[in-house]
Amino acid sequence: MNFKYLIFAGLLLPVLFFSCQKDPIVNPDAKLEFSTDTVLFDTIFTTIGSTTKNFRVYNKHSQPITIDRIKLAGSQGSRFRLNINGKLVNELEKIEVLANDSIYIFVEVTLNPSNQNNPMVVQDSVVFQTNGNLQDVDLIAFGQDVNLVNGQHLKTRKWTNDKPYLVYNSMMVDSLQTLTIEPGTRIYFHKRSSMLVLGTLLVKGTLEEPVSFLGDRLEHQYDEYPGQWGSWLELDNGGTYILGGIHFLNGSKNNVINYAIIKNAIKGIQVDTLANPSKPTLTISNSRIENMSVAGIYAQSSTILASNCLIANCGSWCVALTLGGSYEFYHCTLSNNTSYGFGNRSEPALMLNNWFAVDGVAYVYHLYNALFANCIISGSRPMEIGFANLINKKPAPGQFNYTFDHCLVTVDTMNTSDASKWINVVKNFNPRFDSLTYTVRDYRLDTLSPAKDRGNPAFSKFFPLDLKGLNRLSDAGPDIGAYERQEK
């Protein structure tokens, strides 16, 4: 009797075991769900490829689902590429998704040149066949054809705005050669790429058609993201030397930048040369330099003439003028606010320096002149102007000449009693910009700004139009900074 029960139990156990297993759903009404119905790639550059995006495929049923097939609708002709559940294939069959589980699908795209300046649209879809049901997720990419500049040394030439330029692996304007950039031209830089200039750079932007220098990540979330481009060198001692996004090397001369937008690099501009003490190595006007992870303008023993420039939102300095040199800044706005992308910033918006030390030996330079006229120098720190001219708490023996004339400055308790160096300054007042938020940074003055009508007309007559083209000489007095407030 017991033997019969054992045989019966042995026959029953497999039946019970298999009856507890949940077979994959065969109900034709059972469907998948997706984290999105469209994977959208913002404008990307043809031939280069894209960032990787992904979406999730959900099985929200209480039993497993077997997806009969996942494939690109465009098949072999598609510009898109898939990684399905960890496999680099554009088509895969019999993929089981466990109950209340999901899988990832990663998508990339590469677009072919179309020889047109306008963005093009490429579309495809990922098709899912499950239990006789067809579902899909749309793929859309906007593409832009470019002139690719890949590690090249350039002879004299002109860049026009027929289509953008994309710089890969940096580039160099050779010695004694000139690169002229016409109005409206857009230059994009891949990560760790810079424009190095041994010769001469002429940027001929206009108010209506500025020249743009930007990173090549065109997704919206990168619009104001610092540190996207600019090269660096690994030194033998283990250190790192950061190059400027636009870097004027020793020997470069007669450079002119007018109406440029320079954004989102590590350093915006670096100037390393004193080619001619009587003529600026760089003349820059009517330009915006924003969102640098280190510095907007970094100069070493050089000459710069700057007017109508906004230099803002940098991780360390807006402007660092080091190892002496000669500099003039007229109607410029330097503003550093740590709450807009950088956390705690330890450096002032403006730094002046005339020496450095190597292995305990100090090398001293002359700061012949640093003139700031009708400029705003402000930010979120109590001290936004820094002087680095002391060696062992004593002034370095080199010249250290500076003047702030009719400027609005944030200098905390700094002694500004020397009337030959601090002329009619507006000290430690909020400049009252129109709007400073994480997404909107408008450095125009509001109607109650203490910088209104406080500039020196003697300087303004040489720069009568502000960064927006408004006339500074048409009301009670010129405003301090790059923007003129005109009441309606």
Backbone angles phi, psi at 152, to 5 degrees: -90, 150
State which H helix or E strand residue 101 sits in.
strand 101-109
Phi-psi domain of 132 (left: phi exceeds 0; alpha: psi -120 through 50; beta: other): left
Residue 276 in this model has a pLDDT that exceeds 50 = yes
**Rg of the chain taking only CA atoms, in angstroms:** 30
Angle at 60 between CA 58 and CA 66, to 5 degrees: 65
Q: Is-contact 307 281, C-beta < 8 A?
A: no
Q: State in Å, rounded, how far the first CA of the chain is from the last one.
A: 107
- The CA distance from 399 to 287, in Å, is 30
Task: Please say whether the dihedral angle defined by the alpha carbons of residues 20, 21, 27 and 29, taken in this order, is positive or negative.
Answer: positive
85-130, pLDDT tens digit by residue? 899 999 999 999 999 999 999 999 998 887 777 777 889 999 999 9
Q: For residue 86, what is the DSSP state?
A: T
pLDDT value at position 299?
Answer: 97
Q: Is-contact 355 389, C-beta < 8 A?
A: yes
Residue 3 vs residues 7, 11, 326: alpha-carbon distances, Å: 6, 13, 106
| CATH class of the 33-143 domain in this structure | mainly beta
Closest CA to 243 of 226, 257, 229: 229
Q: Quick one: CATH architecture of 146-474?
A: 3 Solenoid (2.160)
pLDDT value at position 360?
Answer: 87
Query: Where along the chain do the CATH 2.160.20 domains lie?
Result: 146-474
| Residue 369 or 50, more confident | 369
> Which of 74-83, 260-269, 312-321, 394-403 is least confident?
74-83
* Coil, helix or strand at residue 154: strand
pLDDT value at position 290?
Answer: 96
| Residue 27 or 240, more confident | 240
| Residue 453 or 26, more confident | 453
- The CA distance from 219 to 152, in Å, is 27
Query: Where along the chain do the CATH 2.60.40.10 domains lie?
Result: 33-143
Which amino acid is residue 345, in one-letter code? R
pLDDT value at position 338?
Answer: 60
DSSP per-residue letters across 184-208? T-EEEE-TT--EEESSEEEEE--SS
Q: What is the mean pLDDT of the chain?
A: 90
Residues 6+ apart with CB under 8 A from 452: 445, 479, 485
pTM: 0.85
416-467, pLDDT tens digit by residue? 999 999 999 999 999 999 887 766 789 999 999 999 999 999 999 999 999 9
Residue 14 in this model has a pLDDT that exceeds 90 = no
* Coil, helix or strand at residue 19: helix
- The CA distance from 23 to 63, in Å, is 7
